[in-house]
Amino acid sequence: MIQLDDSSFEQEVLQAEGLVVIDFGATWCGPCKKLDPIMEELSGVYEGKAKVRKVDVGVARQVAQKYRVLSVPQVLFFKDGNVVEQITGLVPRAKLVESFDKHLA
């Protein structure tokens, strides 16, 4: 999964058309490590339909601050550059699939 930082976020997410899903996490976060393989898998499942990217809040501090990411993991769904959904915490794969499908419909 492609990792974004403060400098690449605007082009990869805000200027992108369609659905972009951002997994905000941190290397020290246990639940983030459990979410990583799920997001990696969904990145493959939705390839060509949605872009799935990762942001380490310790690296991309400006982006994390701008979107008020105070708890990780946090998944933000962007459609045409705008946040359309936010999921905080470790959630089941089915919940993420439901959100992907809802925003791709």
List, by residue number, the catalytic residues: 29, 32
Q: Give the 3-state secondary structure of residue 64.
A: helix
Q: What Å distances lie between residue 85 and 27, 30, 79, CA to CA?
A: 24, 23, 9
Q: What is the token pair recorded at 27?
A: 């290397």
Euclidean distance between CA atoms 30 and 14, whole angstroms? 28
CB hemisphere CA count around 34 (13 angstroms): 11
